[in-house]
Structure 1
Amino acid sequence: MRAAIVVGATGLVGTSLVKQLCENEEYVSVTVITRRKLAYTNPKLIVKIRAFDMLEERDFEFAHELYCCLGTTMKKAGSREIFEKVDFEYPLTIASLAKKRGIPHLLVITAMGANEGSSFYYNRVKGKLEHDLIELGLPRLSIIRPSLLLGERDEFRLGEKVGEKIFGILKPLFVGPLKRARAIEASQVAKAMIVIALYEKSQPVYIYSSQQLAKLDYPEIQAEAISREQVFNWEKHKLSDAIDEEGRVNRDVVINRDKFKIEQENVPPKD
């Protein structure tokens, strides 16, 4: 039975991830490290309210997986300094603390276009995060690169809403090499992360594209075919009959009718 830690549980993917982890029978404990309370509750859920600037090793109990879903936007951050703190510094610090605590697997969300050499600032920061996480030498690192995320957010983001409309209209054109850029449901990304943790082959570092994430699902459980002979053990039944035949007692041996008649004849008459 497994334990998980989730950081970034109030975002689009993180919210879905926490619910799915709590509903998954493989997990008995789900710890969330967050800056504010969650609306969601569950008997498996443990919520730790922490300031990310003051995180310590003792804030992290041992877990089989640490899921990092931290991320913001330039508009919400308000400056490059704050953006880099949330999208780069915090995840790197959390990864370092997880390594010290012996957590064997870190799953972290970056971006489809993550690249240190990108001309886009957002992708450049995500690429630098990936590079530094790899250099950290974690036991197992799974990098999640989704494209545009679909789902209902608590906050309204005009740019993402416009993007969803455009991606929806152009979806039929996203074929061949462009298929990898299709928008993806946040709930599917969350499910894919759990599938990776539970069923994917363990590798020191692996980068999952949005196209791969869209295909990941829980393995089907094959119902084992049971023959009629297995359901009803005919051999055992035959053996039982044989035992009954051998163990059957002749009533004539138990009740000696001839002797009984003689005894009856010798009984003196009653007055």
Structure 2
Amino acid sequence: MGKTALILGATGLTGKLLLNRLLADKAYECVKVLSRRPLGLQHSKLKVFIGDLLKLEQFESDFKGDEVFCCIGTTASKTQDRDIYKQIDFGIPVSAARLCKKNGIENFLVISALGANAEGQIFYNRTKGEMELAVLKQEIPNTYILRPSLIKGFREEQRIGEAIGAILMSIAQVFLIGKYKKYRAIEADTIAKVMYSLAQTKPKLRIIESDKIEELGCLS
């Protein structure tokens, strides 16, 4: 019998790429997507559940499978209200991890961010760090937290700040060597590929920094 995967954030850049990869894999019999809006995609393996992700408990009866991939995330420019921002970047991944624990799902993969630090002064990094600690507290056997740097890739919704950042980062790439390699921008497809690979191989590594994601992507 084939595996069942659940994805949160399948309408985002990395989530879309991961979804396509899972749908193409014969090892997966069913791919469930939890979303606040329709995907505009049809596939025999695909099941889409529409609802408010800020109230994830409403999906509890359908929150069953072998692996959960959480690609949820927003930006300060897109979500300026800090309370709502935290509900998204902290609340959704942590609620998903709790449902994994409750429903006996042993594989949870989540995208965090480079510089995540629960004790940090920067709100964005602190929120991500607090999310990581809360997720790890669930003690899901195979938990993988990915910390990518600036994510590259085509977005239908262009973000000016990210576009400028990408240009500057591409110029700076050549100087980011040694211990600074983890600050290099990374392709969304590389992140999706590594999330998929981690779910299959289940290594002991739990927190994967951006340079390690790049390295694993080359091996996949």
TM-score by length of 2: 0.93
Residue 22 of structure 1 deviates from its aligned partner by 0.6
Secondary structure of residue in 2 paired with 1:74 = coil
Residue 213 of structure 1 deviates from its aligned partner by 1.0
- The answer to whether residue 172 in structure 2 is matched with residue 179 in structure 1 is no
Q: C-alpha distance in 2, partners of 1:49/1:138?
A: 26
What residue is the counterpart of 1:236 in the other structure? none
State the AA in 2 paired with 1:48. Answer: F
Q: C-alpha distance in 2, partners of 1:53/1:85?
A: 7
- The answer to whether residue 132 in structure 2 is matched with residue 120 in structure 1 is no
After superposition, give the CA deviation of every residue in 1:55-81 in whole Å (9 maximum; x if it has no partner): 3321312x1110001110122112000
Question: What pairs up with 1:123-202 in 2 under 5 angstroms?
Answer: 123-201=125-203
Structure with a larger share of its residues in strand: 2
What residue is the counterpart of 2:63 in the other structure? 60
Residue 216 of structure 1 deviates from its aligned partner by 1.8
Note closer, same or farther for the CA distance 1:218–1:41 as it changes in structure 2 (3 Å cut): farther
Counting matched residue pairs gives 217
Ranked by relative contact order (alpha carbons within 8 Å, sequence separation 6 or more), the top structure is 2
Secondary structure of residue in 1 paired with 2:121 = coil
Q: C-alpha distance in 1, partners of 2:90/2:219?
A: 34
Give unpaired runs (5+ residues) of structure 2: none
- Whether contact under 8 Å (2:33, 2:48) holds in the other structure is yes
Residue 218 of structure 1 deviates from its aligned partner by 8.4
What residue is the counterpart of 2:79 in the other structure? 77
State the AA in 2 paired with 1:215. Answer: E
Secondary structure of residue in 2 paired with 1:142 = strand
What residue is the counterpart of 2:215 in the other structure? 215
- Whether contact under 8 Å (1:146, 1:210) holds in the other structure is yes
Q: C-alpha distance in 1, partners of 2:216/2:210?
A: 10
After superposition, give the CA deviation of every residue in 1:89-120 in whole Å (9 maximum; x if it has no partner): 11111111121111111001110110011121
Q: C-alpha distance in 1, partners of 2:137/2:34?
A: 24
- Whether contact under 8 Å (1:7, 1:32) holds in the other structure is yes
